[in-house]
Amino acid sequence: MKRDNDISACIFGALETYFENLDGEMPAPIYDMVLKSVERPMLEIVLQQAGGNQTLAATMLGINRNTLRKKLVDYKLV
């Protein structure tokens, strides 16, 4: 199956590998696992690109600054 961008291709490949490596075991809750795996590095790099400016980072992410702040606290990034 063709992927539209590098990020989705990376996630697709990682999930294929994850399922191949399960060796018959039941998978972890996949939805939360994937979101957390993607969200933390996304927040880190966007905040870095915004020079630590949370208002700018929130704008770049398309989310409210308070939402960003909560996520940063949740991931212990502040």
- Tens of pLDDT, residues 10-23: 999 999 999 999 98
Q: What percent of the chain has pLDDT over 70?
A: 95
Predicted structure pTM score: 0.78
- Does position 1 have pLDDT exceeding 60, yes or no? no
Tell me phi and psi for residue 58, to 5 degrees. Answer: -60, -40
Residues 6+ apart with CB under 8 A from 11: 34, 38
Domain ranges of the chain: 6-74
CATH fit for domain 6-74, picks 1.10.10.60, 3.20.20.70, 3.30.1950.10, 3.40.50.2020: 1.10.10.60
Could you tell me the pLDDT band of residue 28, with boundaries at 50, 70 and 90?
Answer: confident
